[in-house]
Structure 1
Amino acid sequence: SEINVGDVETLSHTITQEDMDKFVQLTGDDNKLHVDKDFAGKTQFKKQVVHGMLGASFISTVIGTKLPGDGALWFSQTLEFLLPVRLGDQLSIVASVIKKNDKEQIIELKTEIFNQNKQVVTKGVAKVKVIALEQPVVTDEPADANRPKTALVIGGTGGIGKAVCMQLAKDGFQVVVHFHSNKQAAEQIKTNIEAAGGKAVAVQADILKKEDIHEMIVKASRALAPVDVLVNCAATVIPNIKFMDLDWEDYQKQIDLNIKSTMLIIKEVLPAMMDNKYGKIVTVGSLTVDKPNADWSHYITAKAALTGFTKSLAFELAPKGIRINMVTPGMVSTELTADIPEKIKLLTAAQTPLRRLALAKDVADTVSYLCSEKSDFLTGENIRLTEAIFQTAPGIGCEGKKLNKENEYSF
């Protein structure tokens, strides 16, 4: 029950010879003033004096059983012993709340012990922490928890996207394989998933167009079910361009791919996730945000923005049961990095703790964890798959080239 300043609890107890004998047996305090009647008679007290702490110990009884009761942690006490307590005295132990700290869950108690003559024999101040029981974690069950969960993988035909599609299918997800132009690859992934006993659908969309995104989500929901998990693996070849040669268009293309498309897709899947009180969203970052290299200012700027976007949205969506996290690999051995000189790959691998480049499977395994119930307590996190010093040389990417419209976004 609620504890308030002014609350009072009392306890009565008559001190007996048995009490004193047990106290001596427990503590070993056999001071003759307490236990020897003849010795005490020769002192100024004339009678045996009950141990002061015997009476004071009943303060513990009041705190532990009455105020606040179960869960009380008595961590501080001042005491003044004002009058001697005798055998046969009828004690009244009174505790009253004089201060309360809700934030720290601490109360201060004025503690007084009276004898049968209403004289205060002992007084002091106690400090007590109110220990609450740990409550079992209650997580919101998805409204339709019994149906298979559906995962939408953006850029599902890329090296990482394909690995993510196959792993999530293995995890029991129904998979929506998104593609931009490579329909054949998307259909092959769908076929592979179905051959393994899973369910999948391939859906085309230009993720820079709001209408395409809306149509993609509608098709996915009709073919399988509303999207529970979104993984954005969309990627594009990154041209090496000196800053002085960059146009704002180069920045805008990267920002559109990383921020605009992610925002538009999340807005489409969010209503169903909110209705279901459950959802997982995974974005893919880049180690170059932490360890930048030259000539990629446009790309790194967009990925840094995506990192902030992910963390900010995680904070906003958490109360609704939706988690959003980021996976940040270094250089991954995929078709996107196939044209990088072997020397650069070997150098990068040598600078990683495991002495190898990350594989698409490494990324997919991490995404699998973030999409599972095992990661339900994680949101707003950025999981780095390597701490390599990711450096590049002039020759990486599409040096100095402006990608044409057809190849602008390689999903």
Structure 2
Amino acid sequence: MSKFESIQIGDFAEIVHTITDADIRKFVDLTGDDNKLHIDKEYASKTSFKKPVAHGMLGASFISTIIGTKIPGDGALWFSQSLEFLMPVRVGDTLTIRGEVTGKNTRENVIELKTEIYNQHKQKVTNGSAKVKVVEHEVEKAEEETTEDIGLKNALIIGASGGIGEAICKKLAKEGYNIGIHYNSNKSKADGLAESLSSETVKAQVIQGDLLTEKGVEHLVEQATRKLGHIDIVINASTVKFSNIKFDKLDWQDIDDHININIKANFLLLKHIVPQMKERKRGKIIFLTTQYTESTPPAELIHYITAKNALNGFAKALAIELGPFNVQVNLVSPGMTETELISDVPEKARLVAASKAPLRRLAKPTDVANVVAFLASSGSDYMTGETIRVNGGQTML
């Protein structure tokens, strides 16, 4: 199905942006429009507006974001736009920019959009309509026409800036996978990793996203899908730093933090990704759990172990539902691993943990990455709902 054919009347997309002083300065630098009504508070105070008003085209420019990245997205050729500016917009206003498909011209591959912008008070500040030609990508057409299975090659690694996440990115890139390098706040680490992994044969793309909000995850998946083309494999290596807490000192928030990153984040993420896996009838989902859920755990880790046990159940239940769609869901269960996450663990405790393993050492991030790479490969196609332990033999079942 072509992109134009997939677009239906009634389809819509929204983005939200808060206008800042920096936005106005950048707009002035770009356009040269330094009208005092927009930038001079004293001048504006002597007008009927009383305060500076943002350039009308500043807010309207985000219609381009809707068209270029969402509807229709890549291949959009925007050739017509009508606009009415209904109310002033000022610094601090939060705008919701919305585009909705209202018509299709099949002969010309053109869609018509109703474009609207609302402020935080749900007042319409800009109204208009657009016409956009959908330019099909020839490579995409060629992909539609071939029946050859080229394998799963696009992997989204959540928490890629962490120790295990970074090792997974490096291993999969070495194996020839295209990599989506997710980060929440450590952009410099993600950028450096992408630069080191990109090559003529490997696409490494940096993708930012807040895992704990619907909007953040939606934005994350949209970026990943646009930059990679589609998502074949999802690997969640994200976590939150934790320390030992006695039960009488434990707050519900401590447990909730871990539940959020292990369950809520995965739930939101997969709500957006699983549909495309079902449509393609293939996919792999890989979670990281812990050996502490399968043996006598250390004391004072109720918050961590509770969340990981919940993740184990989530993964197995999901594996049952997605199996008929040829989507495998598996877990990797590392022992204590040499990453920044254990930087606060006393050296003595690390030595004790290593001594309990028949292999007499802690896991390295590369040990975990090697197993993840296997689960991402075709070699694991008949495995789902399984847990592979990477703990040096500390737990043998």
Normalised by the length of structure 2, the TM-score is 0.60
Report the equivalent of 2:360: 355
Q: Distance in 1 between matches of 2:389 and 2:326?
A: 24
Show the counterpart of 2:384: 379
Measured after TM superposition, the shift of residue 331 of structure 1 is 0.2
Residue 206 of structure 1 contacts residue 213 of structure 1 at CA under 8 Å; is this kept in 2? yes
- Percent identity between the two aligned chains: 41
1:181-330 aligned at under 5 Å gives the runs 181-195=185-199, 197-290=201-294, 291-330=296-335
Q: Where in structure 1 do 4 or more consecutive aligned residues deviate above 4 Å? A: 387-390
Match of 1:164 in 2: 168
Whether the aligned pair in 2 keeps the contact of 1:243 and 1:295 (CA below 8 Å) is yes
Deviation string 1:183-205 (CA, Å, 9 cap, x unpaired) is 00000110111158521111111
Counterparts of 1:160 and 1:386, CA distance in 2: 14
Structure 2 residue corresponding to 1:155, chosen from 133, 154, 159: 159
Corresponding pairs, count:
249
CA shift for structure 1 position 147: 7.5
Distance 1:304 1:144, change over 3 A: farther
Query: Which sections of structure 1, spanning at least 5 residues, go unmatched?
Result: 1-141, 391-411
In 1, distance between residues paired with 2:200 and 2:171?
11
Cα distance in structure 1, aligned partners of 2:200 and 2:308: 35
Cα contact 1:353–1:386 (8 A) shared by 2: no
Q: Could you tell me how far apart the structure 2 residues matched to 1:280 and 1:377 are? A: 11
Distance 2:201 2:319 in 1: 33
Deviation at 1:169, TM superposition (A): 1.1
Is contact 2:154–2:233 with CA below 8 Å preserved after alignment? yes
Separation (CA, whole Å) in 2 of partners of 1:243 and 1:276: 46
Residue 332 of structure 1: SS of its match in structure 2?
Answer: coil
Q: Name the aligned partner's letter for residue 217 of structure 1.
A: V
Q: 1:121-160 residue pairs with structure 2 within 5 A?
A: 145-146=149-150, 149-160=153-164
Contact 1:315–1:380 (8 Å) recurs in 2 = yes
For residues 294 and 202 of structure 1, the distance between their equivalents in structure 2, rounded to whole angstroms, comes to: 38
Structure 1 SS opposite 2:300: coil
Relative to structure 1, the CA distance from residue 276 to residue 143 in structure 2 (aligned partners, 3 Å threshold; closer, same or farther) is: farther
Deviation at 1:340? Answer: 1.6
**In structure 1, what residue type is equivalent to 2:382?**
F
- Write the distance in 1 (CA, Å) between the matches of 2:337 and 2:206: 24
Please give the secondary structure, in 2, of the residue aligned with 1:152.
strand
C-alpha contact (below 8 Å) 2:358/2:394 kept by paired residues:
no
Counterpart of 1:191, as a letter, is E
CA contact (8 A) 2:357 2:392 kept: yes
Q: Considering only CA atoms, is the larger Rg found in Structure 1 or Structure 2?
A: 1
Quote the Cα distance in structure 1 between the aligned partners of 2:290 and 2:267.
18
* Greater RCO structure (CA 8 Å; 6+ sep): 1
CA distance in 1, matches of 2:332, 2:147: 28
Give the TM-score taking structure 1 as reference length: 0.58
Query: Which whole-Å deviations, capped at 9, do the CAs of 1:49-74 have from their partners, x for residues lacking one?
Result: xxxxxxxxxxxxxxxxxxxxxxxxxx
Q: Where does the alignment leave 5 or more consecutive residues of structure 2 unmatched?
A: 1-145
